[in-house]
Amino acid sequence: MGLFTGKKGLVLGVANDFSIAWAISKKLHEEGAELGFTHLPGDKMERRVRKLADPIGAKLITPCDVQKDEDVARVFAEAKQTYGQLDFVLHSIAFAPIDDLKCSFVNASREGFKTAMDISVYSLAIVARNAAEVMPDGGSIVTLTYFGGERVVPGYNMMGVCKAALDASVKYLAFDLGPRKIRVNAVSAGPVKTLAASAVGDFDKLGGLYEMAAPMDRNITREEVGAAGMFLLSDLASGISGEIMHVDCGYNVMGSPGRAVEKVKGLILSKVEAANPDLAASLRNDEELKRL
């Protein structure tokens, strides 16, 4: 018997098998959860999600446009008809127009900002409002955020501002829904290669940075994020609400590059040594280099 045996939930935002939402869904399924899924409108997105959801016996696979209140309401009405009630909801939805995401935030357009905030932030509020109506016995809602909402991450640009708003939304929704025994939390994962991450400038560099600077000397795995999301949705986290859980090998606690400086210095010296051993020996004894 698994942690989620007899429990039913809805997952919004799976794009493909690289999605963090899918990593969490797999863990939920392994623990006995019965899952329903939404997808972006269109046959192509439906095929992508069905490819993953059909093999695990999903009874509900339906389109959802989170920019339309009536569409979100329809989705949860279908969930109620299919499952009776829900125990958890996983929200994994974010979007910004590519031109506004690629440019610096100071140059982002007003319309792009409205669109990004509507889809990436307000969608959690409208989803939570409707989810609460099919959670008569309480439940858990988890969304996905990123450290770029807490600190500046070059290349994250407008999405960082959206994630900051999303983090605040988690806390206010936790307060609003707490009396109804509904918990609201977020998972803040380190760099994971997903369809969404591919649109972020400098993303390829972030994994290496985490490996260099994180206290655990490595980046996280998709499976670790999946397990953390599953935990927050489970009864094991029954006393946790309004939290931003960092799954980043400790990267978020660092106030300096830490051991990354020594690692970079070592890499530079090893490359120099391969080309010019005498120069490398001189550099190793250089007092200025030692102080770096």
Q: Which sequence positions are flagged as catalytic? A: 146, 156
State the Cα–Cα distance between residues 39 and 267, nearest whole angstrom. 44
State the Cα–Cα distance between residues 229 and 7, nearest whole angstrom. 15
The answer to whether 148 touches 159, Cβ cutoff 8 Å, is yes
DSSP for residue 256: S
State the Cα–Cα distance between residues 173 and 184, nearest whole angstrom. 7
Instruction: Please report which helix (H) or strand (E) contains residue 95, including its range.
Output: none
State the Cα–Cα distance between residues 110 and 99, nearest whole angstrom. 12
State the Cα–Cα distance between residues 222 and 27, nearest whole angstrom. 11
Residues 6+ apart with CB under 8 A from 106: none
Which region holds residue 29: left if phi is over 0, alpha if psi is between -120 and 50, else beta? alpha
Q: Which amino acid appears at position 281 of this protein?
A: A
Residue 76 tokens read as 């949860």
